[in-house]
Amino acid sequence: MPNIETVHVPLGARAYDVRIGDGLIAAAGTEIAPLLRRPRVAVVSDDTVAELHLDALREGLAAAGIEMTALRLPPGEGTKGWPQFTRTVEWLLEQKIERRDVVVAFGGGVIGDLVGFAAAVLRRGVRFVQIPTSLLAQVDSSVGGKTGINAPQGKNLIGAFHQPSLVLADIGVLDTLAPRDLLAGYGEVVKYGLLGDAEFFGWLEGHGPALAAGDNAARLAAVKRSVQMKADIVVRDETEQGDRALLNLGHTFCHALEAATGYSDRLLHGEGVAIGCALAFDLSARMGLCPQEDPSRVSAHLAAMGMRRGLADIPGDLPGSDALIGLMAQDKKVVDGRLRFVLARGIGAAFVSDDVPADLLRAVLDEALEQRIAAPA
């Protein structure tokens, strides 16, 4: 088998491996077999991923004598809500998935989050395996056990912490990902450098373009570093009582923008993360917390990658700053009604603060909204 890297997530009784490399879908049967009591799994995917890669997964499982039954959901963020969640749980029950069986989430972050949550509640909890197929899912959503769906009131508001039993990140499948989805996933990769590893951010400035162009060595290195950083944080704080909130850099802005754009393809999650990180650095600089040149460096890298980096890059109408701040009130980091933000003392040095002056926050948003008038998307 080609080069496979392993990041172990040492969470005691919930410990698991994240396997990263090319060819893991072909090897899925061998990888998953040790978890199974009987040679049968239920796979949930979306139409796009299923069309491209489900046959390969079926063959990979069959090579180890494992049968598979599959459900395909519509692709996109709109799937991550009650209707498709209910459909998935009922399908799993119809398939007579037992407590000791294993459910497989085969797709991007939407599938991983929804299927993980379905596994968390099915018969009060069955094990699941993540086979992430988007860059975003490989570097972030498949690891750490945050599962859930969106509510009309806000993003990811219904869910559970439920760790996977195994993660198989086959970087070969990234070749079929649309360029826009790949760059959206790269938004979360940049987040890791910005939140805690300045050297990694420097490496991304040099290697990001090759990664986007299809360089497998760069992809493997970026996925491995991101997963290792996430694993280290999750092990310190599995249920986000403290440090885990660092993984939320850019997300207070992102989730408000996703809600404001109706969880539509006007703004993908990873695009919102990149824009949110840029805004978090603007806010940090305005508060005198980080060097004035850091926001420009962040923005320059996003621009060099051809990524969205400001509110001017979001097409269609957006509400004003007060309405955006109103949407932030549903953020899960809110304590006693007070917003908390992930800010930065510099690139690679993020921290959590509940001390953001409302006028500065409004000023950063107003300025970003004004740029939309100067340069409409």
Ligand X SMILES: NC(=O)c1ccc[n+]([C@@H]2O[C@H](COP(=O)([O-])OP(=O)(O)OC[C@H]3O[C@@H](n4cnc5c(N)ncnc54)[C@H](O)[C@@H]3O)[C@@H](O)[C@H]2O)c1
Ligand Y SMILES: O=C(O)C(=O)C[C@@H](O)[C@H](O)[C@H](O)COP(=O)(O)O
Tokens of 268: 């993908």
Are 198 and 346 in contact, with CB atoms under 8 Å apart?
yes
> Is 173 among the residues that bind ligand X (CB under 6 A)?
yes
Whether 188 is catalytic is yes
Whether 248 is catalytic is yes
78-137 residues in contact with ligand Y (CB under 6 A) are: none
Tokens of 194: 């910005």
- For 74, the 3-state DSSP assignment is coil
Binding residues for Zn(2+): 188, 251, 269
Binding residues for NAD(+): 109-113, 133-134, 146, 155
Whether 124 is catalytic is yes
> Is 184 among the residues that bind ligand X (CB under 6 A)?
yes
Choice between 272 and 348, CB closer to ligand X? 272
Are 73 and 45 in contact, with CB atoms under 8 Å apart?
yes
Whether 269 is catalytic is yes
Chosen residue from 84, 134, 156, 163 binding ligand Y by CB under 6 A: 156
Residues near ligand X (CB under 6 A), total: 32
Q: How many CB atoms neighbour CB 74 within 10 A? A: 11
207-266 residues in contact with ligand Y (CB under 6 A) are: 240, 244, 247-248, 251
For residue 191, give the amino acid letter: K
Query: Distance from CA of residue 42 to its chain's centroid?
Result: 23
Whether 240 is catalytic is yes
Computed on alpha carbons and rounded to an integer, the radius of gyration of the chain in Å comes to 20
Whether 162 is catalytic is no
160-199 residues in contact with ligand Y (CB under 6 A) are: 188
State the number of CA atoms in the 13 A half-sphere of 89 facing the CB.
18
> Is 76 among the residues that bind ligand X (CB under 6 A)?
yes
Tell me the C-alpha to C-alpha distance, in Å, between residue 366 and each of 313, 316, 371.
15, 17, 9
Whether 19 is catalytic is no
State in angstroms the smallest separation of the CB of 333 from ligand Y: 7
> Is 131 among the residues that bind ligand X (CB under 6 A)?
no
Choice between 212 and 290, CB closer to ligand X? 212
Are 368 and 310 in contact, with CB atoms under 8 Å apart?
yes
Are 253 and 280 in contact, with CB atoms under 8 Å apart?
yes
Choice between 21 and 272, CB closer to ligand Y? 272
If we measure between CA atoms, which residue out of 377, 254, 375 comes closest to residue 316?
377
Q: How many CB atoms neighbour CB 377 within 10 A? A: 12
Chosen residue from 31, 46, 140, 197 binding ligand Y by CB under 6 A: 140
**141/375 Cα distance (integer angstroms):** 33
Tell me the catalytic residues.
Answer: 124, 146, 188, 230, 240, 244, 248, 251, 255, 269
Which residues of this chain interact with ligand Y, rule CB under 6 A?
140, 144, 146, 155-156, 188, 240, 244, 247-248, 251, 332
Judged by the rule CB under 6 A, the positions of this chain that interact with ligand X are: 46, 48-49, 52, 75-77, 80, 107-111, 113, 133-134, 136-137, 140-141, 144, 146, 156, 173, 176-177, 181, 184-185, 188, 269-270
